[in-house]
Amino acid sequence: MGDHRLRGDPRGGPRRLGPGPRGRERGRGVGAVIATFERVGSLIRLSPRVEGEAKVVSALSARLRASDVAVHERALRELLPEVRRWVGALVRGADGEDVSQEALTAVAAALHRYEGRSSLRSLARTITVRTAMKALKRRRRHPRGETDVELENPGADPERLAMQRDTVDRVRGHMQRLTPQRRVALLLCVVEGLSPTEAAREVGCSALAMRGRLHQARAQLRVWLEEDEALRARLEGGA
């Protein structure tokens, strides 16, 4: 309720006026938040933990929960390349696009329940990683053929492009040899820069377990990369 003031009525009784100074100030504050929300460069990176962004996150949450179509679509547009990148680091081959669509569908459904406790990017990453882990478990039970990774750079030298494609394919191939849990540990802690404690919260394990997975993933990947003589020579030669 607004900060209404009661003043003397010349006819002898109190009369109710509009909002007082504090009510008007709150109204201006809400307007400023919405204006900031409209101008912000990236919705998905707004965080309630960052000073000055909490009110904007609250406004974002309210509009998503109210099924604001424009805001919902903008958030999904920003999240789409992120979801594809996360899935690409975890799922190789023909399954990647299917898992991306599955994850994006789950993210879209979650936007209507967004409470603003974290950034949208963090929420989407948690959903995507868990969706990818489920897909990897399904694929272990029902393996499918894999397709090569294609690099889109039509203007590049064909020979150099072929070498780049082979390098990427070799590195990803070694990463795919890791268990899904260790692969996720690398993605969250190395690629995304989360601490083991933060990464553990995202996947629902202990921080100790996450540290162990990360250590094992790094050690195993280092061995495989060193054993790959062609890849080592190419990386050392700057090809």
CB 62 within 8 A of CB 115: no
Class of domain 178-238: mainly alpha
Residue 110 confidence (pLDDT) above 80: yes
Q: Which residues contact 18 (CB under 8 A, 6 or more apart)?
A: 2, 4
Q: How confident is the model at residue 11 (pLDDT cuts 50, 70, 90)?
A: very low
Within the chain, all domains assigned CATH 1.10.1740.10 are found at 51-142
Of 32-41, 101-110, 167-176, which range is least confident? 32-41
CA dihedral of 91, 221, 201, 127, whole degrees rounded to 10: -10
Q: What is the pLDDT confidence band of residue 52, given thresholds at 50, 70 and 90?
A: confident
pTM of this structure: 0.66
Amino acid 120: pLDDT: 96
**CATH 1.10.10.10 domain extents, the chain:** 178-238
Beta bridge partners of 8: 14
Q: Is 18 within 8 Å of 4 (Cβ atoms)?
A: yes
CA 70/CA 75 separation, integer angstroms: 9
| Amino acid (1-letter code) at residue 126 | T
Which architecture does CATH list for 51-142? Answer: Orthogonal Bundle (1.10)
Q: Token digits for 169? A: 């394919």
